[in-house]
Amino acid sequence: MGARLSLRAVAKTFGTGPSAVHAVGPADLTVPAGGFVSLVGPSGCGKSTLMLMIAGLEPPSAGEITVNDEPVTGPRTDIGIMFQDNTLVPWRTVRGNIELNLELRGLDPRAYADRIDDLIRKTHLTGFEHRRPYELSGGMQQRAAFCQALVHEPQTALLDEPLGKLDAMTRELIRGDLQALWLTSRPTVVFVTHSIEEAVQLSTTVCVITPRPGRIERVIDIDLPWPRDRAVKRSRAFGDQVAEIQEIFHAYGVL
């Protein structure tokens, strides 16, 4: 089960004086253990900055972030993080790239052999584990990057637009893979996306972020059955939840 996240009056300002940029907040948010929370908002609203602060990679200018009631004061080793541009190294195979995350954390890949096998199978990479990234499609590379981020069984996974550069069909396939991985182990997930439909399909909760400075305008619980397959996506309830979020952005003139 994942970790409990809490943000209290978190804000971020870059620079000082007249040229300072107020990027985020103040923002308050509680993410229950095992929740899947999507941050949705226009470009430049601070979604990625908010995620980096949760990871301990960017200090907040004000407020406090805690993980299981422990303040975040710097980079954490108990998270998995994935960006839009994957971090696969070209000279390693798929399996070697997954093992690299363990090696960098001082963990023995041999102790995680079964875990690696399981992730490769669940992300449909069986038969490609000994290929290098340049031999894979973009979708396969992202699947390998998911395995890399999750191999050490983190309590929290932070995913910053990991599907943003994929074509629509590949994106839909990987949404299914990601949903299945989350349903299996239930880490706490913070997922940054521009796609309202994607957020509704994958999340237990969607946080609507305002234009900069990014504030949490509304927290919407997504009350839809799992798994969120094509039948669910065609349902009126799914369409209503998408429309509710769209209306908020219409009010801001974003859509």
The model's pLDDT over 148-206, given as tens digits with 9 standing for 90+, comes to 998 998 889 999 888 877 888 888 888 888 898 899 889 999 999 989 999 999 999 99
Average pLDDT, whole number, for the chain? 90
What's the topology of domain 1-78+155-255?
Rossmann fold (3.40.50)
Determine the pLDDT at residue 2.
77
Structural domain boundaries in the chain = 1-78+155-255, 86-153
Peptide bond connecting 109 to the previous residue in cis, omega within 30 degrees of 0: no
pLDDT greater than 70 at residue 1: no
Determine the pLDDT at residue 225.
93
Sign of CA dihedral 105, 115, 198, 223: negative
Structure pTM? 0.88
Distances (CA, A) of 150 to 38, 45, 70, 101, 237: 18, 27, 22, 9, 31
Characterize the bridge pairing of strands 205-209 and 21-31: unpaired
Q: Is 14 helix (H, G, I), strand (E, B) or coil?
A: strand
Note the Cα 123 to chain centre separation in Å: 17
Q: What is the mean pLDDT of residues 82-98?
A: 90
Give percent above pLDDT 70 in the chain. Answer: 98
